[in-house]
Structure 1
Amino acid sequence: MLDGTLDGRAGRLNDRYRHHAAIDVLRRAVSDPDLGRVALVSSFGAESVVLLHMVSVVAPGLPVLFIDTQMLFPETLAYQREVSARLGLTDVRVIRAGAAEVARHDPDGTLHQFDTDACCDFRKTVPLENALSEFDAWITGRKRFQGGQRTELEFFEPEPPLRLRVNPLAHWRAGDVQDYLAENNLPRHPLVARGYPSIGCAPCTSPVRPGEDPRAGRWRGSDKTECGIHFIGGRMVRGKVPA
């Protein structure tokens, strides 16, 4: 009898596609009945165009969820429009907290200065969770080489209680990303050339110095490494992985 649990489904999918290339994992993810309804979640950040390009090749009508925290760099908003148009993505959905939520939680726009977790929660985690409620799985651009809790990533992982996550680029190296960008002549996020290898909200992202970890500029000076949209064991992860 097949194991119908999330762990069982993720295990079957990893066994089925273990030796597949990233674009093949993505191609099959959008049609495999073990996943159901699938969306791509994209930040339109430093490396996002790789997966967005793959989607444009295999399933340009796939829903793409872009979370506008309303605190993003202007360059990110412009880049999102440019890339969506250039790649012919036909179902890009801009997700954001409503005006009432902003007025209630952060009327003067300073919440990030004293409670980054609360800011990420209402601006990013809650709107995304609402948007993902109609999907059975979502695709991310996370990769093992990014470090932290990402070092053990598999192509497919459970997200209790109901969804699966798909990480087509899990096994890529940093050089693979750069090679793909060059080979496909893809537009780079303009902030990358200015020292931002990982790009989030403007108030909480700083340039990275030579030799630093690529994500060192995210929430600099704190132990926070994730915004909270990723889960481990059903728990939100905003800092270090729970023991």
Structure 2
Amino acid sequence: MTTSTEPQAGNAVNFNLDELNQRFETAHPQEILAWCVENIPTGFVQTSAFNVDDVMITDILYRQLQPAQPVPVIFLDTLYHFPQTLELVAKAKELYNLDLRVYKTPEVNTREAFADRYGEALWDKDIEQFHHLTKIEPLNRGLDELNTVAWITGRRRDQAVTRANMPVFELDKQQRLKVNPLAAWTRKQTWDYVAKHKMIYNPLHDQGYPSIGDEPITTPVADGEDERAGRWRGSGKTECGIHI
């Protein structure tokens, strides 16, 4: 790997991760994203489940930075999102004029069609297969189709113990740059940003859902619980597979 911090355009392997992580460890997320916009002119995308952290990143990209070439936002339509999530996606698309790219399981367009093809409540029978069909395969297809060099996540270290050592910059299995601009951020800082910028967010966040996934397998979180305790409750899972 080259020792230069600045990459050749379109080539993720030219990033010096150690240098970048040292340089941006204490940086504001907007500073991290500004560097990305400047140094990754093509193949830079955001992946978003439209949780509050994801929307904050979108707000920075589309309202604060406003790059000449809008950053595509990949949304995985699992067919099992809460209605409030889908309403937020539509609202954000209009508000920010998003370059929104929606990916889903091929050849099924409704929950009923998914159940007919793969079985009722597949998440109860085979959660790994459910996540492969609804998230992992559609995401990989989207990243490939967009010729992705680098992609953004909304993960924070304080969301779960499994994310405690997450770097700001890393490489995924395909050697694409994976950018976690909120890695060192806190939940409070995110909500401070929401208040300051009067940002839209999912109303379920006000109803005990700090982390929102698919409706059948997301529950409210009690005081003192891990922020992501309501995801796949009782299954022993901590990630859907995208970030493993």
Provide TM-score, normalisation by structure 2.
Answer: 0.85
Which residue of the partner structure matches residue 216 of structure 2?
A: 203
Q: Identify which of 24, 48, 55 aligns with 1:49.
A: 55
**Superimposed CA distance per residue, residues 163-200 of structure 1 (whole angstroms, 9 cap, x where no aligned partner):** 11001111111210110000000122111122111100
> Larger % of helix: which?
2
Aligned residue in 2 for 1:151: 164
1:118 equivalenced with 2:129 (yes/no):
yes
Please tell me whether residue 72 in structure 1 is matched to residue 81 in structure 2: yes
Partner of 2:242, secondary structure, is: coil
Amino acid at match of 1:82: K
Query: What's the offset of the Cα at 1:84?
Result: 2.0
Alpha-carbon displacement from aligned partner over 1:134-153 (angstroms, at most 9, x marks no partner): 10110011011112221112
Is the 8 Å Cα contact of residues 97 and 123 (structure 1) preserved in structure 2?
A: yes
Question: Which amino acid in structure 2 is aligned with residue 2 of structure 1?
Answer: T
Decide whether the 8 Å contact of 2:162 with 2:238 is kept in 1. no
- For the Cα contact (< 8 Å) 1:72–1:201, is it kept in 2? yes
Correspondence list, 1:72-221, <5 A:
72-89=81-98, 91-99=99-107, 106-133=117-144, 134-221=147-234
Please give the root-mean-square deviation of Cα atoms over the aligned residues, in Å: 2.4
Q: Give the aligned residue type for 2:50.
A: F
**Which sits farther off after the overlay, 159-168 or 119-128?**
159-168
The answer as to whether partners of 1:22 and 1:168 remain within 8 angstroms in 2 is yes
For this pair of structures, how many residues does the alignment match?
229
- Gapped runs of 5+ residues in structure 2? 5-11
Q: TM-score, normalised by structure 1?
A: 0.85
Alignment-mate amino acid for residue 127 of structure 2 = T
Distance of 2:43 and 2:118 partners within structure 1: 36
Q: Is the alpha carbon distance of 1:93 and 1:196 closer, same or farther for their aligned partners in structure 2, counting shifts above 3 Å?
A: same
Deviation digits for residues 188-219 of structure 1, max 9, x if unmatched?
A: 21111221111000111011112211111100
Q: Which runs of 5+ in 1 are unaligned?
A: 231-236, 238-243
The percentage of counterpart residues that share the same residue type is 35
